[in-house]
């Protein structure tokens, strides 16, 4: 029974694989906090739609704890996740970078606008870096090998390094644009 699910489904399954049952609402919060850096954070409505589907496929199970419906992975869900991890071909990352896209058309803008484009991006980078750093520190204490958040921590470090490097690239571009090199 090879159910072809989109990657986002497995991303949500993945969030549930850390053990704690989560409601749709909580799932969205986790996605906003961490998943959005490496994948996407689906819209609220999409989360619930997805939960219905996963439940329909028997990959998750509602655990009614009163007012809110939390879901936890079923054995089938764990298996599906394992199978996905081991057999699904991995594509190359897709980057949608509005700043790079605009810089490509830098010739259509006046120099001051190009400069502001990059400076604004530096600010945005700073902000995102801070947000990710917060996540990173929240993982401290469980980030040693064999601990629960070992891999999330590694990925967070990856992301932090990525932001830091992008910052230096942008600064470099700004310099090159000023003195034509």
Rule CB under 8 A: which residues touch a copy of itself? 7, 10-11, 14, 17, 34, 37-40, 81-82, 85-86, 90-109, 113, 117, 120-121, 124, 128, 144-146, 148, 150-152, 154-155, 158-159, 161-162, 165-166, 169, 172-173, 176-177, 180
Select from 107, 106, 108 the least CA-distant residue to 117: 106
Q: Residue 69: enclosing H or E segment and its boundaries?
A: strand 69-73
Task: Decide whether 11 or 103 has the Cβ nearer to DNA.
Answer: 11
Is the CB of 25 or the CB of 38 nearer to a copy of itself? 38
Contact 76, 58 (CB under 8 A): yes
Query: Can you give the binding site for DNA, defined by CB under 7 A?
Result: 4-9, 23-26, 40-46, 48-52, 67-69
Rounded (5°) CA angle 135-141-144? 100
- Shortest reach from residue 96's CB to DNA, in Å: 8
Contact 77, 59 (CB under 8 A): yes
Residue with tokens 């919060």: 29
68 binds, among a copy of itself, DNA, none (CB under 5 to 8 A by kind): DNA
Nearest Cα residue to 79 out of 64, 52, 60: 60
Q: State in angstroms the smallest separation of the CB of 144 from DNA.
A: 29
């Amino acid at each position: 029974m090879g159910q072809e699910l989109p990657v986002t489904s497995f991303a949500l399954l993945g969030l549930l694989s850390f053990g704690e049952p989560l409601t749709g609402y909580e799932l969205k919060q986790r996605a906003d906090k961490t998943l959005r850096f490496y994948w996407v954070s689906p819209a609220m409505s999409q989360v619930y739609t997805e939960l219905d589907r996963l439940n329909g496929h028997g990959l998750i199970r509602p655990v009614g704890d009163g007012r809110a419906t939390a879901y936890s992975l079923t054995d089938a869900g764990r298996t599906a996740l394992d199978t996905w991890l081991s057999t699904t071909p991995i594509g190359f990352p897709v980057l949608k970078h509005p700043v790079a896209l605009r810089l490509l058309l830098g010739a259509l803008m006046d120099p001051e606008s190009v400069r502001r484009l990059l400076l604004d991006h530096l600010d945005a980078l700073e902000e995102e870096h801070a947000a990710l750093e917060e996540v990173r520190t929240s993982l401290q204490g469980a980030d040693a090998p064999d601990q629960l958040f070992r891999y999330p921590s590694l990925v967070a470090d990856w992301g932090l390094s990525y932001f830091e490097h992008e910052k230096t690239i942008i600064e470099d571009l700004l310099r090159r644009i000023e003195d034509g090199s």
